[in-house]
Amino acid sequence: MKFSYVNPTVIHFGQGQIAQISSSIPTSSKVLVIYGGGSIKSNGVYDQVVEALQNHTWLEFSGVEANPTKETLDKAIELVKSEGVDYLLAVGGGSVIDGTKYIAAASLHDGDSWDLITGQYKPETAVPIGVILTLPATGSESNMGAVVTKKSTHEKLGFMTPLVRPQFAVLDPDAMKTLPERQLINGLVDAWVHVCEQYITTQTGNMVQEGYAEVLLRNLLELGAKFEQRDDAWRENLMWTANQALNGLIGTGMPQDWATHMIGHELTALWNVDHARSLAIIQPSLLRSQMAFKRGKIEQMGRNVFQLEDSDDLAERTINAIEAFYTSLNVDAQLSEVNGDKSDAVDAVLAKLEQNGYVKLGENQAITLDVSREILTNAL
C-alpha cells in the first residue's frame, strides 16, 4: 500500500442543512446559483436557497441539461465573466455539478472552454464551488471529476483537477423526495457501478478499501431490495452511500477499471441513453470478457456481497447475480434505442472510442478495440 489521500470537501449532511450555505459562502462573494430544468422549484430547495442567501449578492443561471453541454455552459461562462462572479453554487444532480465544475475552470480562460477538455488549457486556478445535492448518484459533489458533452460533435468527455473539487456539499435527503423513480434507480445503479469500477480488478489484500467497497455494495443491494418501502432512513442511506462510492476513498491506491464508463459514455453521446442504463448495458458483458483478470475478485464479490456458496462457476454466478440486480430494479439493459441488427451501432461506438483514443481500456489496458467490439457485440 502506498498512497496520499485527501478529500477537503466539507459535507453538511441531514435534513434542514441547506441553511448552512449562509455561513459556508463568504458574504463578500458575488454568487452565481446554477441549476437545471427547474426541479428545485417544485421541492422547496430553491426557496431555501433564496432564504439562505438573503445577505449575499447573487444571480442565477438555469437550464443546465442532463448530460450538460458545452453549448449551454458557455452562456454561464459569459455571465461569470461579464458580472464578475466569484463563487458558484451548484444546486442539482451530477449534471449541474459537473457543469458548474466546467464553468469554474473555463471562466478563467480567455480561449474556447473546450480547451479544458482537450488539455490545451491547463487551469491553475478556478472559481470556488459549493454544492446542494438533489440526486444521489455520481459522487460529483465531493470529487474532482466532471463529464461534459459537446453537442455539435456528439462528444462526451471528462476532465479532472483538484481545483474544481467543491469546498462544501449539502446532502439533505429531503431534496430527493421529488425524484422520479427512474432517476432514483439510475442513482442506485450508477453508485453501484462506481464501486465496481474501483473494486472488480485484482485482489489486492487492502482490507480497508476492499472491505469498505463491499459494505457499500451490500448497502446498495439492500436499498434496491427495499425500494418499495423507502422512507427517510432509506433516502439517508442511499445519499451517504452514493457519496462514499465516489469520493475517492475506496479507489485510493487501488487499481481501477472505468472501461464500463468509457464505453457507456459513448452510448449516451450517440443515443442519449441515461448514464446509469448505459452502464447496466455494458458491464455484465465486459466482466465476462475480462474473466481471465478478474475471476478472483468477482468470486470474492460473490462470497462477500451476494453471500453465494463456493463453486467452480462462482464468478459466472456472481455476474448473473449482478444482472439479476438490474432486472429486479426494472433497468432496461438492452439498447432499445436501436432497433433490429445492432452491428451498425457497434461500429458507431467503436469509431467514437477510436476517435477519443480509448483503444486500451481497463486496469490492465487489455480492452483494445477488438475486445471492445466483442464486449459490444455481446452487450447490445
Kindly list the residues in this chain that would bind ligand NZQ in the complex (CB under 6 A).
36-39, 43, 66-67, 92-96, 98, 134-135, 137-140, 143, 145-147, 175-176, 178-179, 183, 186, 190, 246, 261, 275
Helix axes 343-355, 259-271, angle to 10 degrees: 110
Shortest Cβ distance from residue 151 to ligand NZQ (Å)? 13
Per CB under 5 A, contacts with Zn ion among 64-123 are none
Contact between 345 and 380 under an 8 Å Cβ cutoff? The reply is: yes
Q: Which does 246 bind (CB under 5 to 8 A by kind): ligand NZQ, Zn ion, none?
A: ligand NZQ
Exposed/middle/buried for residue 370 (C-beta within 10 Å: 0-12, 13-18, 19+)? exposed
91 vs 191, beta carbon nearer Zn ion: 191
Distance CA 315, CA 330 (A): 23
Residue least distant from ligand NZQ (Cβ): 36
Cell of 285: 458483458
Angle at 355 between CA 268 and CA 103, to 5 degrees: 60
Shortest Cβ distance from residue 20 to ligand NZQ (Å)? 18
> Which residue intervals of the chain are DSSP H helices?
21-24, 39-42, 45-52, 70-83, 94-106, 115-118, 181-199, 207-225, 232-245, 259-271, 275-289, 291-304, 314-328, 343-355, 369-379
Nearest residue (CB) to Zn ion, 132 versus 146: 146
Nearest-approach distance from CB 210 to Zn ion, in angstroms: 20
Q: Which residue is nearest to Zn ion (CB)?
A: 190
Instruction: Give least dist CB 110 to ligand NZQ, A.
Output: 25
- Please choose which of Zn ion, ligand NZQ, none residue 140 contacts, taking the beta carbon within 5 to 8 angstroms, the exact cut-off set by kind: ligand NZQ
The residue (of 190 and 266) whose beta carbon lies closer to ligand NZQ is 190
CB 158 within 8 A of CB 137: no
User: Cβ(333)–Cβ(225) under 8 Å?
Assistant: no
Task: Report in angstroms how near the CB of residue 89 gets to Zn ion at its nearest.
Answer: 23
The least distance separating Zn ion from the CB of residue 143, rounded to whole angstroms, comes to 11
Neighbouring residues of 149: CB distance < 8 A, sequence distance ≥ 6? 67, 68, 69, 70, 155, 156, 268, 269
Q: Which is nearer to Zn ion, 141 or 190 (CB)?
A: 190
Is residue 266 part of the contact set for Zn ion (CB under 5 A)? no
Calculate ∠ Cα 109-127-160, nearest 5°: 75
Residue 63: CB atoms within 10 A of its CB come to 14
- Residue ranges with strand state E in the chain: 10-13, 30-35, 57-61, 87-92, 129-133, 145-150, 155-160, 168-171
Using the structure block, give the residue that is written with the C-alpha cell 446532502. Answer: 171
Which amino acid is it at 67? N
Q: What is the DSSP letter of 68?
A: -
- Residues 47 and 18: beta-carbon distance below 8 Å: no
349 binds, among ligand NZQ, Zn ion, none (CB under 5 to 8 A by kind): none
Mask 164-203, x = binds Zn ion (CB under 5 A)?
--------------------------x-------------
The site partner of 39 among ligand NZQ, Zn ion, none (C-beta below 5 to 8 Å per kind) is ligand NZQ
In the complex, the smallest distance separating the C-beta of residue 181 from ligand NZQ, rounded to whole angstroms, is 11
Nearer to ligand NZQ, 66 or 346 (CB): 66
Q: Which is nearer to Zn ion, 49 or 188 (CB)?
A: 188
**Closest CB to ligand NZQ among residues 85, 157:** 157
Say which entry of Zn ion, ligand NZQ, none residue 89 contacts (CB below 5 to 8 A, set by partner kind): none
> Smallest distance, Å, CB 67 to ligand NZQ?
4
Query: 29 or 100: whose CB is closer to ligand NZQ?
Result: 100
DSSP letter for 255, please: -
Toward Zn ion, which CB reaches closer, 31 or 254? Answer: 254
Q: What residue 143 binds from Zn ion, ligand NZQ, none (CB within 5 to 8 A, per partner kind)?
A: ligand NZQ
Half-sphere exposure of 61 (CA within 13 A, CB side): 25
Q: Which distant-in-sequence residues (6+ apart) come within 8 Å of 144 by Cβ?
A: 160, 161, 162, 163, 164, 165, 248
Considering the complex, what minimum distance in angstroms separates the CB of residue 303 from ligand NZQ? 27
Query: Which residues bind to Zn ion, rule: CB under 5 A?
Result: 190
